Amino acid sequence: MSCIYILWIRQLTRYIRSRSRIVSSLGQPVLYLVALGFGFGPIFQKAGEGSYLQFLAPGVVGMTILFTAMFNGIELLWDKQFGFLKETMVAPVPRVLIMLGRTLGGTTVAVAQGLIVVVVCTLAGFRPVNWAMVPAAVGFMVLIGFLFTALGTAIASLLSDFQGFQLVMNFLIMPIYFLSGALYPLRHAPPVLEAVARIDPLAYGVDGLRAAFLGSSHFGMLTDFGVLAFGALLFLGLGSYFFNRIQL
């Protein structure tokens, strides 16, 4: 358990020290809030859907957690390049605990980024319908962060260079985000698009955040929780398997 704690603290310390990373990570969410939230707001309202900013904010939070969690895998490649991973792997502990520690550390960083974006959204005018459900929203943020951190680590375990990881991420992250319903209501989407969204784990994460923050859900809060929990365990298992096969 000490190994998990050490890796968790290391990930969190990296994040706190990287002030430029904290600031730069706010650029894209703010751009989405301003360009889309205020730009498409009148159109969304005329369509009878209410405030687009209210609808968009959970999707922007989900996007932030997705990007931060997935790119946590880059740190694994960095550790491979500079030898820190070798020092960690020779520790007399099961590799699954090392994988779990890295995943928990990446999840903490992703959730911290998500909470910062929640504050930014609140300053922009976003308001949860029921503040008592905010802890449930944080729970969904943790599940999203854990699931995609484990997925990012699993992918990074199979690669040996930064270029390959960036290529995979570009062909994976953007489809996951744009097909999740973060930017548009799934109930009005074409049947094919809605069917694709049903196999996108982020769709359940964003839907869960909307259920907690706004009281409206497409799949149902229990379904969202169940799918995310199952996905988190699945990707943790896959990540542990691939991480265990890393050759140094």
Which range (6-10, 114-118, 170-174) has the least confidence?
6-10
| Number of helical H runs and strand E runs in the chain | 13, 0
Q: Which of 101-110, 152-161, 203-212, 231-240 has the highest mean pLDDT?
A: 203-212
How confident is the model over 205-239, as pLDDT tens digits?
999 999 999 988 889 999 999 999 999 999 988 88
How confident is the model over 130-143, as pLDDT tens digits?
889 999 999 999 99
Q: Do 60 and 117 form a contact (C-beta atoms < 8 A)?
A: yes
Q: Do 93 and 3 form a contact (C-beta atoms < 8 A)?
A: yes
Q: What residues contact 204, with CB distance under 8 A and at least 6 apart?
A: 219, 223, 224, 227, 228, 231
Which range (5-9, 30-34, 201-205, 224-228) has the least confidence?
5-9
Domain boundaries of the chain, sorted by first residue: 2-244
Strand ranges in the chain using DSSP code E only, listed in sequence order: none
> Considering the entire predicted model, what is its pTM?
0.87
> What integer is the mean pLDDT of 60-86?
79
Q: What residues contact 72, with CB distance under 8 A and at least 6 apart?
A: 11, 102, 106, 109, 110, 149, 152, 153
Provide the pLDDT for residue 157.
81
CB neighbours of residue 217 within 10 Å? 17
pLDDT band at 89 (very low <50, low <70, confident <90, very high): low
CB neighbours of residue 236 within 10 Å? 21
Tokens standing for residue 42: 């009148």
> What integer is the mean pLDDT of 29-57?
75
Regarding predicted confidence, which is higher, 101 or 48?
101
Q: What crossing angle do the helices spanning 201-214 and 134-158 adopt, rounded to 10°?
A: 160
Provide the pLDDT for residue 203.
94
Distance between CA atoms of residues 145 and 104, nearest Å: 9
> What integer is the mean pLDDT of 42-62?
79
> How buried is 12 (Cβ within 10 angstroms: 0-12 exposed, 13-18 middle, 19+ buried)?
middle
Establish how many alpha carbons lie within 13 A of residue 25's alpha carbon, considering only the half-sphere containing its beta carbon. Answer: 26
